[in-house]
Structure 1
């Protein structure tokens, strides 16, 4: 052990204390508490010596000293808990509050994790009086930090602590505990929105209320939020069925209503027979177990109608027309309508309009829509000249929009499914426009006037329903608008082109802001990466449109759009950093594999370089350094990087160096050109590429005035 004296330098003492803390942590984890206590006493001695030297310590060593003192006290806290001395743990915690650096996220995360383990252990031991106190300390420690400085694991820990804390409050079985649980759930709802774990906490809270005051409407509302937000899988399907059964026990009518929405909007579209069968059997049981009313019979009838139409779609798509006709026997009007139109050989579209009129007179818009959609499919496959396809699509969109508005006003179930159908029709419009259908005289069916109608309606639907539809539905409809804009001819009037450009910019802006919100709340890393990539593409689209139209804008519009661009560029930087970190992690993991695929690794590096090339110079430069190192190492092995990849890296580096030269970034330009020449040296072409680049390098006069 170090003794007091001038020879005890701060650096030596810091290393000794750090070693003692590390050893003490290992002993504590291994359950060797006696050894841990002895080693931590050594750490305390070193800390005491450092305390006497603090007045003369430089700021860097002073920070290290305080950080080690915090780590020591956290470990003391854990040791006291392990020894079942919670009074000592309390004392140590209070001491920690006095010395902990409030701006140190690592220490805050360690303290939160330790307090969480204590609270979790007390809960397991049914010590419901003390468990909330330690879980509150855990949450307070991590919640005081800036979320942007916390690791991903720390953010997940924050949510895990919240779950445990709510349950600990409820376990107290007191009115005060219930109120605290309610307040905490409301607080995390404001931060996390419709995350599944938050919604499940809300359900748990509602189930904990006394039976006589159980809020069935609130429970149903949470389930509807779950239906809208969850990704359907075997586990999520079972979870929904479990909670719908619980709601059915409390309120049969609401249970049936929620199950209907689940079946129509999420289960039927999957066409996964086991899920459909289980959900429909449960729905039938619920209808027959409870007292029947006109409303329950009508609701059940609607579900079976939907099932019938799903079978009609399946039979029709497989060409089984006899079976299709038998399935449609209870919806004779739709079957007759479809048969009469499909059998008509005339070019006159009056038969189509007659079908719509008949269906609307019967007040069955859904029937008319289904028949017309099947007719569209038939016309596209076999007789495109039989009807005016754009007119047919406009009729379907008008009917669907009318039906959707009826559902919105009545706040009825099944709205999600109707919106999905409407998005699919617009996506079908885009596909049809891309095929460029023409009449017998060779004239385009989708004229500029038709493009105007579909483009404006897609844009207006997205804008009008931005707060009603789900975010991904808004993205789909606005993407349709952008796709239609891209199909306008080049010779349209200048004013029309300016209007389309402005509409495209607003689409890009709305989609980018929606995508960043989705990316921030997404748990699935693959989906999160895709959201950030799409967001960056739309930001680039906005920037390109704005740059092209900047000279034609008035000052007010110019200021507004440039302000929007500045907001988007902040989002773009966030996306670039996230994509860089994630792709970097993937590449590092591939590189560490014993038998990694050089070609696949090169492709990942190409993607990473493309993503980061426009960001801060240091990031793409680091990637290029790694690429050079990799190409050199692999060239000396039996698995060199494929020549086409080396050539792409080489030309990209050289061209980027030339671009930097053009904006007088001479030092950066030199580095990129040097990397290009290094890569060219390892290109297996007999030195041709290297010699060509050396010739071009001579023309670059760096540092010249």
Structure 2
């Protein structure tokens, strides 16, 4: 340990860039790991004290945290995860999760710099493997790693980052089943920032439109039913029109007119709540969203008319006009009503 302590001190002086010193530290850690692996797990550990094992683990993590090279990072993070013999006064699970988190964040830096698609895919697979383990274990060990409210909030923040990065990896790998699982899993801890990141990642993907539509719909449903105390319900109601706008346009692009019409119906219900006489008048459906949605819906009605789908035309046009009439300015309602009369 004195030798390792000296090398770490020298590493710090070199701003963690000295490869020769890093290699020496790796050699010592490898020797320590071999010694521990040879020990009988059923017998007391007489090689290193608990204090020394804790120091080995924390030192490995700190080197991983400060090392500028991702290759060094991953090696040291693995070492600090493989310490054995730590007792209850040291949170082994917490340390393990920290290493998973650190590896994930640092590998994602490489991914965003990588231009080769094949190499990106390899790195995303690695991200997915690490984050999957983190997600599987985090709830089981929540009590152990969150002994105070501050620790609890810190781990929730890391958990959200892990979910966001795993969603990014799954989208890149075209694993939309896992994307759906991640969205559903987030329900208990989701907040405005995470939901916004999810929506952005989904919309920016180059996936088939049907996958995007389905996942946006799942995200809205998750937000609707979320028990998360971190999701401000008032804020959600204020941002819901943006989500509905996205889903409406996506469903039209996918020619899923049944879904688009159900979104239009939901918007009508929410827009009625903005009227002054409504008991929920504190919530206002944005005027610009009403105008956009009613205009696009009416244009769709015209398309139905041109396709001789008279029943669909009548239904969509009436809903578009009803929605426009709910706006504070009735100019659009009169305009659409006049256009509708020319169709009939």
Coarse TM-score class (shorter-chain normalised) = 0.5 to 0.7
1:337 and 2:7 equivalent? yes
Aligned match of 1:399: 79
Matched, 1:428 2:105: yes
Residue number in structure 2 paired with 1:547 = 208
Q: Equivalences for 1:579-618 in 2 at 5 Å?
A: 579-580=223-224, 603=238, 606=241, 609=244, 615=259, 617-618=261-262
Distance 1:677 1:396, change over 3 A: same
Stretches of structure 1 that go unaligned for 5 or more consecutive residues are 1-330, 380-386, 408-412, 437-443, 486-499, 549-561, 584-588, 591-599
Shift of 1:702: 5.5
| 2:165 corresponds to | 480
Distance 2:325 2:260 in 1: 23
C-alpha displacement of 1:625:
4.4
Would you say the 8 A contact 2:291–2:324 is kept in 1?
yes
Q: How many pairs does the alignment contain?
A: 281
Is the alpha carbon distance of 1:679 and 1:662 closer, same or farther for their aligned partners in structure 2, counting shifts above 3 Å?
Answer: same
Consecutive unaligned residues of structure 2, counting only runs of 5 or more, are 34-51, 141-155, 228-232, 252-258
Q: How far does the alpha carbon of each residue in 1:81-104 deviate from its partner, in whole angstroms, 9 at most, with x for none?
A: xxxxxxxxxxxxxxxxxxxxxxxx
Alpha-carbon separation, structure 2, partners of 1:372 and 1:339:
13
Q: TM-score, normalised by structure 2?
A: 0.54
Return the offset for 1:619.
6.3
1:166-207 deviation digits (Å, cap 9, x = unpaired): xxxxxxxxxxxxxxxxxxxxxxxxxxxxxxxxxxxxxxxxxx
Task: Determine whether 1:673 maps to 2:320.
Answer: yes
- Deviation string for 1:464-518 (max 9, x for gaps)? 78866658999865643554x5xxxxxxxxxxxxxx86x6332x42252365367
Residues 245 and 293 in structure 2, CA contact (< 8 A), matched pair in contact too: no
In 2, distance between residues paired with 1:670 and 1:605? Answer: 23
Equivalent residue runs for 1:339-488 within 5 Å: 339-344=9-14, 348-363=18-33, 367=55, 370-375=58-63, 378=66, 387=68, 389-400=69-80, 403=82, 416-429=93-106, 432-433=109-110, 448=116, 451=120, 454-462=123-131, 470=139, 477=162, 479-483=164-168, 485=169
Residue 21 of structure 2 aligns to a residue whose secondary structure is helix
Q: RCO (CA 8 Å, sep 6+): is it higher in 1 or 2?
A: 2
CA distance in 1 between partners of 2:137 and 2:226 (Å): 33
**Is the alpha carbon distance of 1:545 and 1:504 closer, same or farther for their aligned partners in structure 2, counting shifts above 3 Å?**
farther
Separation in 1 of the partners of 2:58 and 2:237? Answer: 49
What is the CA–CA distance in structure 1 between the aligned matches of 2:206 and 2:100, rounded to whole Å? 25
CA–CA distance in structure 1, aligned partners of residues 92 and 341 of structure 2: 63
- TM-score (norm. length: structure 1): 0.31
CA spacing shift, 1:668–1:479, aligned 2, 3 Å:
same
Cα RMSD after superposing both structures: 5.6
| Superposition map of 1:205-216 within 5 A | none
Alignment correspondent of 1:237: none
SS in structure 2 of the partner of residue 630 of structure 1:
coil
- Larger-Rg structure: 1
2:174 to 496, 505, 514: 505
- Cα gap change, 1:459 to 1:344, in 2 (>3 Å): same
Deviation by residue 1:302-352 (Cα, 9 ceiling, x = unmatched): xxxxxxxxxxxxxxxxxxxxxxxxxxxxx6455423321121279652222
Pairing of 1:247-326 with structure 2 (within 5 A): none
